[in-house]
Amino acid sequence: MNAVPPDRNGQPGFLTGQLLIAMPSMTDPRFTQSVIFMCAHTPEGAMGIVVNRPLAQPSFDDLLRQLEIAPLPPARRIRLCAGGPVENARGFVLHTADWTGEGSLRVDDALALTASLDILKAIAGGGGPRAGLLALGYAGWGPGQLDHEMSHNAWLSAPADEPLVFDAEHNTKWRRALAKLGIDPGWLSGAAGHA
**Domain range list for the chain:** 18-183
pLDDT at position 186: 74
Q: What is the mean pLDDT of the chain?
A: 90
Nearest to 37 by CA among 168, 137, 124, 165: 165
CATH class of 18-183: alpha beta
Phi, psi angle pair for 20, to nearest 5°: -105, 125
pTM over 0.75: yes
Task: Tell me the per-residue pLDDT of 44-79, one tens digit each, with 9 for 90 and over.
Answer: 999 999 999 999 899 999 999 999 999 999 999 999
d(CA 107, CA 129): 14
d(CA 59, CA 37): 22
pLDDT at position 102: 87
| Share of residues in the chain with pLDDT > 70 (%) | 89
pLDDT at position 6: 41
pLDDT at position 14: 87
Give mean pLDDT, residues 182-191. Answer: 72
Minimum mean pLDDT range among 5-14, 74-83, 131-140, 174-183: 5-14
3-state secondary structure of 120: helix
d(CA 155, CA 157): 7
The yes-or-no verdict on residue 12 having pLDDT over 50 is no
